[in-house]
A and B are shown apart, each in its own frame.
Chain A
Amino acid sequence: MRRLVPVLILLLAVPVAAEELRGRLQLVGKGGKGPARGSDVRQALVWYEPTAPAPARPPATPFVMTTRGKQFVPRTLTIPVGSRVRFPNEDVILHNVFSVSGENSFDLGLYRRGKGKEQKFDRPGLVRVFCNVHHSMVGYILVLQSPYVATPDAEGRFVLTGLPRGAGRLTVWHEQAEPAGMDVQVPRAEPLAPRLEIVRPRIPPHLNKTGKAYSTRDDYNQR
């Protein structure tokens, strides 16, 4: 019985995780005029962070983001804080994987086909991942403290389930838009209707790992 008391206290302290948030995300063109053409709403992410978040629990096995066909696959990955990500190279050419995103910066160097290298992400936030060889390779890792993440369907509809009751913040993210956040109270009866304005190209302007422009130009005489 003595052993049961702390367990009961712990269970009572945690709000019941049974609520959900529904909504429909809309991507709109620059200036908010009409739907955004050519941008896929299924590549957006919606996540909810309770005001008192539970500690993140990174899995024992690493997440995987592969270089394949000169692309990062998947292009977007959400992981709990403290998780590791492995970057296998399935291409028959050399790739590099690096990021200059603040405290999550890293550089795995140049490596050939194989199981690749791992990187641990200890800080929450967005990590933009690039290849120093191929300018068009772009990937995103969202390092979150919350496990409540959803991906919209083709119509933009999303459902976040298992949420604790209480106040929190909902964030909507798409690689081509500025993220939008809103405070919400759970439970909530009416569906959410966030909008994101598409303002960035699919390959965002970025520099190589030394902070210089990629040499996409033909340097015939130039050095």
Chain B
Amino acid sequence: MTYRWGCAVLVMLCLAAPLRAQEEAPEEEEPSLKPRLEFGFEAKAHYRDSDLNSFAVPFRFEPNMLPRGQSQGFEETVNAGSHLEISTFTLLVDATWGDGLAAHGKIDFIDLYDRNPTSSDGKTDVDEAWVRFGIEPAPATLAPRGGAYLKIGKMPKLERQDDRHLESYGLVSTAFNRFEDTGAELGLNLGRHVYVKATATQGNPVFLRDPNALAGDNGTPAMRQPFPDPELKSGIVILYDAEVEDLDVDGELELGGGVGVRFADEGGVNGVDFLAWGYRRNLAETVELEGTFYGGDLDLLNGPGNATPFPALRGDEKREAGANVWIYFGGLSFFGQFVDQEIAGLPRTGLEAEVAWRFELPLWLSIGDRQLFTFVAPAARYSELDNDFRNHLNTPAPSLAWDWKKLDAGLRVGIIPGADLTVEYADHEFILGNGAKRDNNELLTTFRWRV
């Protein structure tokens, strides 16, 4: 069954419940056959200004694989210049039956910035579709009591930061846990403070993408035409864990787990959470991804026609270990993550830290009984990705082995409840194989409207 069908069934199940349920807020969260339903909608529009950069690649493309008159291939900024874009319409549905049972669906339309991995991917994406039995506390909040939960479906990875303060992603987020995976997650709350999680999932295929807002076009059907010159370029790419696209679990599962400890006040406003986690799986020979004729996993790492494998490529084991910390204190929030990964003998580490401070604004103006300008939240994020391996001499994507650093700084302003504007700048630096430093910066302004 495809995600589209799965989500349709979920929505129909929810609609089958009496409409009256939408207006009722049960005083006690007792288990009931009648679900409490919440529907949501989100839209995002952007002004984006991306620097123009291109880097020659050593791979010798056939002449008819390059634009006319071009004798060398490049890694290029995906879509340089200034652009106004609508990136996403999202539908959200939540159904809860007391505290013990919940279902969640999230469908993206257009899905411009989360294309997986190219512009020829589907424009509709079931981002999340899961059912959960039991209570799963949010990071840095106390569990109401000891207990367990089981979550099944397509869901965020257990270590993902779910409350980013900037629209862009850090290098670590993009490389390791930006996209959802499919499977099951079992959580144990050992009292209110200590918790353990275990996952068995399909595993996100290893692929490549530009870490700025827009993913590049690599392996799109248009590239198979003679002398291709697509509007969207390849991007300057890193290895990343791409989104799982189907329900097939025909290979080995990725097994993961984490152990954490959290301290928080009863109101869930101030808290600290520390989580150590890890994953392991065997890479597939190839993984088909919609929108590209390149294969994921080992197929990608071996290069076109298996002709340009990374010199250190060994075996098929992919494993990673990491640690997260979340801190909330009043309006201050901090998220930090460190990841140590090895992909079939290719080691790399990532570090990311985001700090933000949300200031609630006093009531100055209003519109339609709602406050105008509700908060401001300056935020800064530093991330780096150290790739401790070398490229094949004739690689078509040298940036895969570069070391990367990214500093994002921005400001989010709450316009009215449910609508905000984020202005941010990404200072993006990488160190080429010859030691030279280059950058690929981007200004991004995002208007988000959520109902």
Interface residues of A (CB under 8 A from B): 69-70, 91-94, 112-113, 135-136, 204-207, 209-211, 213-214, 216-223
Which chain B residues numbered 149 to 166 have a C-beta less than 8 Å away from chain A? 156, 160, 162-165
State the Cβ distance, B102 to closest chain A Cβ, in Å: 10
- Cβ B370 vs Cβ A136 within 8 A: no
- Is the CB–CB distance between B363 and A70 below 8 Å? yes
Are A92 and B369 in touch, CB under 8 angstroms? yes
Are A94 and B269 within 8 A (Cβ)?
no
- Complex CA gap A92/B364 in Å reads 9
Q: What separation, in Å, do the CA atoms of A94 and B370 have in the docked complex?
A: 6
Which of B163, B363, B366 is close to A220, meaning CB atoms less than 8 Å apart? B163
* A214–B268 touching, CB < 8 Å: yes
B87 contacts partner chain A, Cβ-Cβ < 8 Å: no
A217 touches B363 (CB 8 A): no
Give how many B residues have a beta carbon under 8 Å from the other chain's beta carbons. Answer: 35
CA distance A135 to B270 in the complex (A): 13
B412 in contact (CB, < 8 A): yes
Most buried by B among A92, A207, A214: A92
* CB-nearest residue of chain B to A135: B269
- With A69-B363, A92-B363, A211-B29 given, is the CB distance from A204 to B162 under 8 Å? no
A210 → chain B closest CB, angstroms: 6
B163 neighbours in A (Cβ, 8 Å): 217-222
Q: Which of B29, B266, B358, B362 contacts A216 (CB 8 A)?
A: B358
B106 x A223 contact (CB < 8 A): yes
Please classify the interface of chain B as helix (H, G, I), strand (E, B), loop, or mixed, using the class held by over half of its residues: loop
Tell me whether A207 and B269 are in contact (CB under 8 A): no
Q: Given contacts A218-B358, A218-B377, A219-B163, could you give 4 more A-B pairs where the C-beta distance is less than 8 Å?
A: A135-B269, A207-B266, A213-B267, A218-B165
Closest 4 CB pairs of A and B: A213-B268, A205-B267, A222-B162, A205-B265
- Given the known interface contacts A70-B362, A93-B363, A222-B163, the answer about A216 and B269 at a Cβ–Cβ threshold of 8 Å is yes
Nearest CB of chain B from residue A182's CB, rounded to whole Å = 29
Question: Of B40, B268, B371, which one neighbours A207 at CB under 8 angstroms?
Answer: B268
27 cross-chain CB contacts under 8 A: A69-B362, A70-B362, A93-B363, A93-B369, A93-B371, A135-B269, A136-B360, A204-B267, A205-B265, A205-B268, A206-B266, A210-B25, A214-B269, A216-B269, A216-B358, A217-B163, A218-B333, A218-B356, A220-B163, A221-B156, A221-B160, A221-B164, A222-B162, A223-B92, A223-B94, A223-B104, A223-B106
Whole-angstrom CA separation of A91 from B366 in the bound complex? 9
Closest Cβ–Cβ distance, residue B105 to chain A (whole Å): 9
How many whole Å from B242's CB to the nearest CB in chain A? 17
Q: How far is B358's CA from A211's CA once the two chains are assembled, in angstroms?
A: 23
Complex formed: what's the CA distance from A92 to B162 in Å?
32
Q: Is B16 an interface residue (CB 8 A)?
A: no
The interface residues of chain B lying within 8 Å CB-to-CB of A70 are: 362-363
Decide if the interface of chain A is mainly helix, strand, loop or mixed. Answer: loop
A102 to chain B, nearest CB (A): 14
Instruction: Determine if B141 is an interface residue (Cβ-Cβ < 8 Å).
Output: yes
Q: Does B328 contact A (CB under 8 A)?
A: yes
| A206 x B363 contact (CB < 8 A) | no
Please name all residues of chain B whose beta carbon is closer than 8 Å to the beta carbon of A219 when the two chains form the complex.
Answer: 162-163
Contact of A92 among B160, B269, B270, B366 (CB under 8 A): B366
Taking the closest CB of chain A, its distance from the CB of B271, in whole angstroms, is 10
| Among candidates A93, A214, A217, A221, residue contacting B267 with C-beta atoms closer than 8 Å | A214
Minimum CB distance partner of B331 in chain A: A216
Chain B contacts for A218, CB-based, 8 A: 163-165, 333, 356, 358, 377, 412
Contacts of A113 in B (CB 8 A): 369
Q: Report the minimum CB–CB distance from A54 to chain B (whole Å).
A: 36
Contact between chains at A93 and B366 (CB < 8 Å): yes
A213 touching B363, Cβ below 8 Å: no
Chain B nearest CB: distance from A71 CB in Å?
A: 10
B138 within 8 A of A: yes
Q: Is the CB of A94 within 8 A of B328?
A: no
For the complex, give the distance between the alpha carbons of A70 and B361 in Å.
Answer: 10
- Scan residues 347-379 of chain B and give those whose CB is less than 8 A from a CB of chain A: 356, 358, 360, 362-363, 366, 369-371, 377
Within 8 Å CB of B104, what residues of A? 223
A69, A112, A204, A213: the one contacting B138 at CB < 8 Å is A213
Tell me which residues across on chain B come within 8 A of A94, comparing CB atoms: 369-370
Whole-angstrom distance from the CB of A108 to the nearest CB of chain B?
Answer: 14
Residue in B closest to A219 when the chains form the complex, CB atoms: B163
Question: Which residue of chain A has the shortest Cβ distance to B370 in the bound complex?
Answer: A93
Measured in the bound complex, the distance between the Cα atoms of B160 and A221 in whole Å is 10
A222 partner residues in chain B, CB cutoff 8 A: 138, 162-163
Smallest beta-carbon distance B404→chain A, Å: 23
A211 to B267, CA, bound (A): 9
* CB neighbours of A216 from chain B (8 A): 269, 331, 358
